[in-house]
Amino acid sequence: MISKGLFKKPKNELEDHHWVKRQSDPAIPSELCRSCPSCKQLSFTSDLDNNFHICPKCGYHFRINGRQRLNMIIDPGSFTEHHQNLISTNRLEFPGYEEKLEQATLFSHENEGVITGIGKIGGYDVALFVMEVTFMMGSMGQVVGEKITLLFEYATEHHLPVIGFTVSGGARMQEGLLALMQMAKTSGGVKRHSDAGLLYIAVLTDPTTGGVTASFAMEADITLAEPEALIAFAGPRVIEQTIRQRLPKGFQRAEFLLEKGFVDGIVPRNLQKDTLIRLLSLHSIPKGGDDHGSL
């Protein structure tokens, strides 16, 4: 019990306000729990953090950002980022694009929709790209296309396999045809890497659509997918509008693509690193006369 007169009564409204504000600011993180969009059950955020952001009750894979993904896949401390300072300009002078870029940068804490670099996975040297869903839905403009192409060129030059995690709403319409050209440009990079006899593994995550599906996401030697990820050329809404009928359940999900023969396997997030290590190991037999050792 607090005895009367121990604390001074607030003199003015401002002080009062301050007092109220402090009182309502407990040392508990605002997001203690998250509700699963699939089974609606609540889980502690800390539990999710320790479980690869997979719902412990139903196995739903929460969407995560690029850095979180990077930390799950790459050996700690081994990652060197490339070209992180490339930022987009509004060459077409598309109305509102600068503001959108600014908001996206603030929201995502990234400069663009993809993180690229080199690092180790289970001790194997790899070139890695991870697309960033929080930056304008991972849409592909000139910088995304440039960073991915630069990565494939680097990997070709240094005889490295490429591991790529895709998530994208497609080509970025604010960059017009220059965004479309990135599909051709990145495909060129993939092709040269492939012609050099090097391995490219793509992991398609939710959602991978449009111009990214129609370019480097579907050009890998081995294509893996996360459970229930939406993988499409045209998104479900566009198709429903075009053909004016409801789509069957599970249409364009990873399991559907597996059934139709467009992905090699579905790998839950907690097994991805292990699967990648096994695949890298199976491809690491040195070729005759090649003194580059791993791949």
Partner 1 sequence: MEAYKRVALARKKTRPTGQDFINNIFTDFIELHGDRYFGDDPAVITGIGYLLDMPVTIIAQERGKNTKSRIKRNFGSSHPEGYRKALRQMHLAEKFNRPIVCFIDTSGAFCGIGAEERGQGHAIAQNLMEMMSLKVPVISIIIGEGGSGGALALGVADEVWMLENAIYSVISPEGCASILWKDPSKTKEAANCLKLTAQDLLELEVIDEIISENHRDFKNVYRELKLNLYKRFRKSQILSPEILTQTRYNRFRKFGALDITK
**Residue (36 or 190) nearer to partner 1, CB:** 190
Question: Could you tell me the smallest distance in angstroms from the CB atom of residue 267 to partner 1?
Answer: 19
**Residue (43 or 142) nearer to partner 1, CB:** 142
| Sites of contact with partner 1 (CB under 8 A) | 83, 85-89, 91-92, 94-95, 141-143, 145-146, 149, 171, 173-185, 187-188, 190-192, 194-195, 210-211, 213-219, 231-234, 238-239, 242-243, 247-248, 251-252, 260, 262
Question: Could you tell me the smallest distance in angstroms from the CB atom of residue 280 to partner 1?
Answer: 23
Name the strand (E) or helix (H) holding 97: helix 97-108
Name the strand (E) or helix (H) holding 124: strand 124-131
**Residue (194 or 270) nearer to partner 1, CB:** 194
Describe the crossing of helices 66-73 and 269-282 by its angle, rounded to 10 degrees.
50
Rounded to the nearest angstrom, the gap between the alpha carbon of residue 124 and the centroid of all alpha carbons in its chain is 21
SS3 annotation, 209-270: CHHHHCCHHHCCCEEEECCCCEECCCCHHHHHHHHCCCCCCCCCEHHHHHHHCCCCEECCHH
Query: CB 166: neighbour CB atoms within 10 A?
Result: 29
Is 55 annotated for ligand binding?
yes
Question: Could you tell me the smallest distance in angstroms from the CB atom of residue 94 to partner 1?
Answer: 5
From 60, 33, 35, select the one nearest 44 (Cα to Cα): 33
Is 58 annotated for ligand binding?
yes
Question: Could you tell me the smallest distance in angstroms from the CB atom of residue 89 to partner 1?
Answer: 6
Type of residue found at 203: V
Is 33 annotated for ligand binding?
no
Residues annotated within the binding site are 36, 39, 55, 58
Residues annotated within the binding site for Zn(2+) are 36, 39, 55, 58
